[in-house]
Structure 1
Amino acid sequence: TWDETGLCVTAGAGVVLADLEETLSRHQYTLGSLPQSARIATVGGAVATEAFGLFAAGYGGMRENTLALEAVLPGGEVIRTSASGAASRTFHHLLIGTEGAFGIVTSATLAIRPVPEVRAWCAFAFGTFADAADALRLIYRSDARPAFVRLFDAAAARERFAGVVPGGNVLLLLGVEGSEIVQTGQYQTVFAVCKQVGGEEVAVDGDAWYESDRFRTDAFAANGRSGAIADVISVYTPWSSANAVYRALSDGLQADVCALTTQIGYATPHGVALDMLFVAETASPEDAIARHGRVLQNAREIALTHGANVAHHYGVGVARAGWADAERGSAQTEALRRMRTAQTKKSPAGL
């Protein structure tokens, strides 16, 4: 069901995000931000992992866009929460991003908005990752809030935009949207900041790139080869340490991988998320599993040493669980375990 006046839609946990977006688009509405996995991602899964979409820089992730939830607690009780109600707000947020630890989401009420009147793209090449990141930081210090952000380091730019971006350069691709008046003002700000930091405007067809890459999953094609492994490491870092974290991760992971590219797909005035895609080739599936674990362990240690978070928008899961404990500290971890234990004691099956 949907409420056009209140700009929200309620959908079951099993509804596929891309199908929901297609239904809304027929009425000129949109969820605003969809993950690249939207064709296989469900509403419940997106809430449980606190998913972030390609336009999360402008519209936020699932936490900001989940207005109400229905969930089943371990004891079988059905509850309904609200992001706006003081009485249920705390438990509402506890269900988002905790991957079912405190309850299973059965339906969610999500924010929607009218399809923007205009979308414009702005693409600039920079000589270094630090310069491109600094331009992005200054943009988010201003009143401009690009809905789409994608910074490609030199390796990623070479892979995706060969012949368009000068060799060795970093690409910053930004999409601004809204009404004609709002979009124009934001575009002018973005353009001015990029020029100020030394960026060179390049001809990138943003719409064409978005349509071809919005649901792209072939980055993980290596996982189909025996002895190969591909994965993404996503960390969030304050702006003050963003370049140091990028350099430390880039240098620290090179020995164990055969390919490493970095993109930024989410930014705020306070910090930024780095997404590092790596591919490793080994002699056997067993070696690949061991290599995968070593790369993840190395990345987590580097991230924590430099003040970054060990995970941002790909959930926590088994691979990151131990490092999430290290990031939180023993007191927070124990408090969460006690809460979860109190809940699971009510479950007949002890789940």
Structure 2
Amino acid sequence: MDVPSFARWGDAADAVALPDGVRELLGLREPAPPVARPALPPVRLPADVLDALAAACADVATGDAARLAHAAGRSTEDLLRLRRGEADGAPDAVLRPADHAEVAAVLRVATVHRVAVVPFGGGTSVVGGLRPVAGGFAGTVALDMGRMCGLVDIDHVSRTATLQAGLRGPRAEELLGDAGLTLGHFPQSFQFASLGGYAATRSSGQASAGNGRFDDLVLGLRAATPTGDLDLGRAPRSAAGPDLRQLLLGSEGAFGVVTELTLRVRPRPDAHSYVGWSFPSFEVGSAALRALAQDGPLPTVLRLSDETETAVGAATGAGAATGCLAIVGLEGPADDVAARAAGVERLLRAHGGTPLGGEPGAAWLDGRYRAPYLRDALLDAGALAETLETATFWSRLPGTYRAVREALVTALGAGALVLCHISHVYAAGASLYFTVVAPQADDPVDQWRTAKAAASDAIVASGATISHHHGVGTDHRPWLATEIGPVGTAMLRAVKNAVDPAGILNPGVLIP
């Protein structure tokens, strides 16, 4: 199926074909409906407002191509809606500021003229973070941060780097690599997501066990708000009141536009070791991961697939393990990697693990950014394919796993595959990452919304968090209200009113 790039993930040159046998495995009979070219709504902003925005930011585009490229994120719902010709979320204009001053100027103009502003990094949101509720505004603009992509400073003594927020993952690693450094942050969206997007969603990379989440790396930040600038982070830690950096981290552009970040960096690792382990059950494997997370030695990457995900991976050539496959990655100085590898092996053997050698680890490394492309192939073939994630304490993890899996299977019915893996571990708990594949119903958007609501209800009822690293967006807002309660909701609204009293920043996103 010839699907335009606006309704696909990433680079069309990297598209993948559906592996042999998957269509039969899923019982797919008909391909998805043909893709319709979206009819963009007319530009709502009057000429005088566009002129004022152009005076604030030199790079303003109102053409169809620019608007369509910024019309949605990359959730399955976003792609399905685009594929059936719905682009009602397209902004009236796309602004590409060159520096912090232009961002601040745009926010001032937008406040005066009541224009909704959607900060746009890599466009990889999968929770409706780029679908504002902007009906009461004069129009909407996407604030594309892509021109703000420089390395500002490296402090080798403190091991920090200051970078502009529009930098995407690969370019940031290239700039730091020239100095022998790395962030060590590699989420699945790494090839396209921006540093500002990482901060705005509390991103968690695949190497979080050893390197931490992105919010662990943020030591300072600069942000523009409609009421003024924020320059936060004078020291690694401070007792000078609540840490205001934390209000911007995870705020999804609702409290301000992050323009610059000072981040903890580390030397690029000398050695790498990625191996596979097999466990007889998800329960046994989870206990082994918990032992590593609590007692060490802690790997850089630590993941465990359940029985279904392991079997599907083996069937599609992504692994050869039976039972439950774990991927254990170690990075760092060669002597440190060797010592930790020996300690990891002793512990995993003692917890019922069987070593599989380097082949599964190499296969995972080779394919770790490929899953979203496989989703495109599944959508082309008429399947529904999407993910969701949560996190909870170790004591609650088995119950959350069972409850969410049962909710998805019940909502989607016969023929659905529900896969899961532990993707991030902590001493106190872990993240569960679910993948769903099922034949599409007549209305696949409604089909997924129903299943996602059932899973979200199960997450909240089990005592887990509604999101570990995807964020809140518009999709998770109802469940966030339950998670933080009325007092927490009032606090978020108070902060919003303080920094954005006109409510122009990403309206309808995050705040219940």
For the 8 Å contact 2:274–2:362, the answer to whether it is kept is no
Question: Match of 1:309?
Answer: 465
Report the Cα distance in structure 2 between the residues aligned to 1:9 and 1:89, rounded to whole angstroms: 24
> Cα 1:315–1:211, aligned 2, differ >3 Å: closer, same or farther?
same
Superposition TM-score, scaled by structure 1 size = 0.91
For the 8 Å contact 1:29–1:114, the answer to whether it is kept is yes
> Cα 1:166–1:9, aligned 2, differ >3 Å: closer, same or farther?
closer
Which string of whole-angstrom CA distances, capped at 9 and with x for unpartnered residues, describes residues 6-27 of structure 1?
2122111111111111222233
Q: Residue 97 of structure 1 is aligned with which of 229, 250, 264? A: 250
For the 8 Å contact 1:71–1:103, the answer to whether it is kept is yes
Report the Cα distance in structure 1 between the residues aligned to 2:464 and 2:210, rounded to whole angstroms: 22
Structure 1: gaps (5+ residues): none
Structure 2: gaps (5+ residues): 1-151, 508-512
Question: Match of 2:293?
Answer: 140
Question: Match of 2:212?
Answer: 60
> Secondary structure of 1:318's match?
coil
Q: Residue 74 of structure 1 is aligned with which of 222, 226, 237? A: 226
For the 8 Å contact 2:225–2:255, the answer to whether it is kept is yes
Shift in Å, 1:260? 1.6
> Cα 1:350–1:152, aligned 2, differ >3 Å: closer, same or farther?
closer
Highest Rg: 1 or 2? 2
- Aligned residue type for 2:384: I
Which string of whole-angstrom CA distances, capped at 9 and with x for unpartnered residues, describes residues 223-277 of structure 1?
7438643221111010011122112222221133422211111001100000001
Q: Residue 324 of structure 2 is aligned with which of 163, 170, 173? A: 170
Shift in Å, 1:129? 0.4
Question: Match of 2:423?
Answer: 265
Between stretches 119-128 and 226-235, larger displacement belongs to: 226-235
- Aligned residue type for 1:139: L
Question: Match of 1:22?
Answer: 174
For the 8 Å contact 1:81–1:88, the answer to whether it is kept is no
Question: Match of 2:18?
Answer: none
> Cα 1:282–1:347, aligned 2, differ >3 Å: closer, same or farther?
closer
> Cα 1:222–1:278, aligned 2, differ >3 Å: closer, same or farther?
farther
Which residues of 2 match residues 308-347 of structure 1 at below 5 A?
308-345=464-501
- Aligned residue type for 1:96: L
- Aligned residue type for 1:272: A
Report the Cα distance in structure 1 between the residues aligned to 2:472 and 2:192, rounded to whole angstroms: 19
What is the number of residues matched between the two proteins?
347
Question: Match of 1:256?
Answer: 411
> Secondary structure of 1:84's match?
coil
- Aligned residue type for 2:166: G
Shift in Å, 1:308? 1.0
Report the Cα distance in structure 2 between the residues aligned to 1:350 and 1:31, rounded to whole angstroms: 28
Verify: 1:291 aligned to 2:447, yes or no.
yes
Shift in Å, 1:117? 2.1
Question: Match of 1:38?
Answer: 190
Shift in Å, 1:207? 5.4
Between stretches 290-299 and 335-344, larger displacement belongs to: 335-344
Report the Cα distance in structure 1 between the residues aligned to 2:291 and 2:436, rounded to whole angstroms: 29
Which residues of 2 match residues 100-249 of structure 1 at below 5 A?
100-162=253-315, 165-167=320-322, 169-205=323-359, 208-216=362-370, 217-221=372-376, 224-225=379-380, 228-249=383-404
RMSD between aligned residues: 2.3
Report the Cα distance in structure 2 between the residues aligned to 1:230 and 1:65, rounded to whole angstroms: 32
Which string of whole-angstrom CA distances, capped at 9 and with x for unpartnered residues, describes residues 26-82 of structure 1?
33211112212111101111110111111011111111001110101122x122111
- Aligned residue type for 2:341: Y
> Cα 1:235–1:189, aligned 2, differ >3 Å: closer, same or farther?
same
For the 8 Å contact 1:227–1:283, the answer to whether it is kept is no
- Aligned residue type for 1:78: D
Superposition TM-score, scaled by structure 2 size = 0.64
Q: Residue 436 of structure 2 is aligned with which of 269, 278, 281? A: 278
Identity score, percent: 28
Between stretches 155-164 and 249-258, larger displacement belongs to: 155-164
